[in-house]
Structure 1
Amino acid sequence: MPTEHTPAGLEPWQWPQAHWRGLVDRVRAGRRLAPSAWPGGAPFAVALSFDSDHETNDLRDGGGSISRQSWGQFGARRGAPRILDILARHQTPASFYVPAVSALLHPDEQRRVVAEGHEIGIHGWIHELNSTLPYDAERDLMLRAAETLEAISGMRPTGIRTPSWDFSPHTLRIICEMGLAYDSSLMADDDCYELEMDGRPTGVVELPVEWIRDDAVYFGMNRFAGLRPYTPPEAVLDIFRRELEGAAQEGGVFQLTMHPHIIGARSRIWILDEVIRMARSMNGWFATHAQVVAHVREACDLPHMGD
């Protein structure tokens, strides 16, 4: 069915070149940002992150499943404390991407996150899907989310990870309007790069994610769909280890995404501990996503737009 972005009556193979190039160029990877050195002479960087979705995974879909909400509550009650305890034991900084509604439901958790030296980043209002929203609604939610996180945690977010890594045609424009330093939702490289919008550089750094480096794809569960956990924890650790070793060999960034309600289970939390141990044995530089971006920006001489 034709949309505002699709020429009426034409299939994709019939589109004129100007149309499909325009779709590709809306948001695209620009200059690769690969520092020649990392702080302290470390051979590579380690950027651990946690998406604290909690109850919003169900609330986003209408709030009809008390069971799914309880799973999210487990993330706040047991998962997040276990994660924070391990990070504290290893003195390891990390980034937490928090929907505003999760922060409102669990404000003490966010205060602990910041008090222990970690980063708080934007992760939507209620884990909404940006691609379903008009520009005004998406912008309003992102602004309100940033204000809410700052009011609760005392930290003004400098970066965003869109819920479900769902990036609308308006998302990058709003990121620029808000003056955010970086995004961590896209997948065009292993290492950082500058985002371009409509063929022009934006000054916004992308610290890329990948489903391979996300615990949810291996341990996800939905009893009303065909989604079932299929990968043993040992196999997941092996995948993460190989990604870690590759980053170390190339001198790049090892970025990992986890979720308190998933990785926080007793049978899985040890994966986090092992990843940290392995990365430390390889002399990786542990940093928040914001710290990685700040180093990359300085090392690669990338100013903010308007600087």
Structure 2
Amino acid sequence: MTADQQPWQWDEQTWRAHVARVRAGRLLRPASWPGGARVAVALSFDADHETIPLRHGETGPGKLAQGEYGSRVGAPRVLRLLERFGVPASFFMPAVSALLHPEEVRSYVAAGHEVGMHGWIHEGNTLLDPADERELALRAADTLEKLTGTRPVGIRTPAWEFSHHTLAITRELGLRYDSSLMADDDPYELLADGEPTGVVEIPVEWIRDDVPYLTIEHRGGLRWSTPPRQVAGVWCDEFDAALEEGGLFQLTMHPHVIGHRSRMVALRELLEHIDAHEGVWYATHAQVAEYVLEQCP
């Protein structure tokens, strides 16, 4: 293959190699969840805050204030609701965000939640050369370890982007799981060029994310967000299906998005719906990864 070839000109070996680079391996859905639970619920929050504008070099106070809201108001509001329902969660935090808000990071740990990796400054890792992507990942892991006292065991890449080198860096860091890809509803093992890696994928999906529903972007014309109770309905349906299948219900949210007053209704109604069912195991992403590796050796 030459650099100027179009994809339709690739030979079979070329397109198969691209597809096989990072692939879904064996399904890691156990016969049952801890305590005989019928469904696992893994809630997560990406505490991006100011790093969303900063990653694009936007330093205006307006955009930064939107991010600051996530730490100042959204995160405490989320923590109070999780405490009310007794639910553990995973918080994925860019290292720059953690350095800006060290007390927030410590509040997650103090409440028994997991803190996972989410890049250095929410950088576009697919735009970086391998050395820079690796250096930022190592720096981010070291930073979170210093702030929390515990080395992170999982990663969610910024914007769920995956370069050709991300999996190798993940393995070098000794991380137990990734939560950035979308090849299944339930956990699975990642393959690298067809070989098992031992890394658990806890898959995400835009359906189970608050940003597509609730983000209002005024540039290029105002776009109204979905009413929060409609969002709750979608997520409740996703949970019901996971319960029926005996699988995993995973959800991604952002304190600066879900943390507004009217939008917390969606999370509250979801938790009320889940709590109305028996056989639910609430877990952090790390706990899910550890359990499925134990049950599906």
What TM-score range do you get, normalising by the shorter chain?
A: over 0.9
In structure 1, stretches of 5+ residues that fail to align are 1-5, 302-307
1:199-278 alignment runs, 5 A limit? 199-225=194-220, 228-278=223-273
CA distance in 2, matches of 1:32, 1:95: 22
State the distance in 2 between where 1:124 and 1:212 align. Answer: 23
Aligned length: 296
Match of 2:287 in 1: 291
The whole-number CA distance in structure 2 between the counterparts of 1:293 and 1:193 is 9
Q: Tell me if structure 2 keeps the 8 A contact 1:114–1:155.
A: no
The letter of the residue matching 2:153 is: T
Matching residue of 1:66: 61
- CA shift at 1:8, angstroms? 2.9
| Structure 1 stretch displaced more, 230-239 or 107-116 | 230-239
Shift of 1:227: 6.9
Q: Is the 8 A contact 2:39 2:247 kept in 1?
A: yes
Q: Which whole-Å CA distance do the structure 1 matches of 2:64 and 2:191 have between them?
A: 38
- 1:305 paired residue number: none
Q: Are 1:138 and 2:142 matched, yes or no? A: no
In structure 2, runs of 5+ residues without a counterpart are none
Which residue does the alignment assign to 1:300?
A: 296
Alignment of 1:5-24 (within 5 A): 7-24=2-19
Percent of residue pairs bearing the same amino acid type: 57
1:226 Cα deviation after fit = 5.1
Equivalent in the alignment of 2:25: 30
Amino acid paired to 1:298? E
Aligned to 1:157: 152
SS of the residue aligned with 1:117?
coil
Cα separation, partners in 2 of 1:199 and 1:61, compared to 1, 3 Å: same
Counterpart residue number, 1:304: none
Match of 1:51 among 46, 55, 74: 46
Partner of residue 91 from structure 2, selected from 73, 96, 100 = 96
Q: Does 1:126 align with 2:135?
A: no
Secondary structure of residue in 2 paired with 1:273: helix
The answer (yes or no) to whether the contact 1:248–1:282 under 8 Å persists in 2 is: no
TM value normalised by structure 1: 0.94
Runs of 4+ in 1 over 3 A off after TM superposition: none
Matched letter for residue 253 of structure 1: L
Cα separation, partners in 2 of 1:193 and 1:58, compared to 1, 3 Å: same
Deviations along 1:94-134, one digit per CA (max 9) or x if unpaired, are: 00000000000000000010011000000000000110011
CA distance in 2, matches of 1:238, 1:110: 31
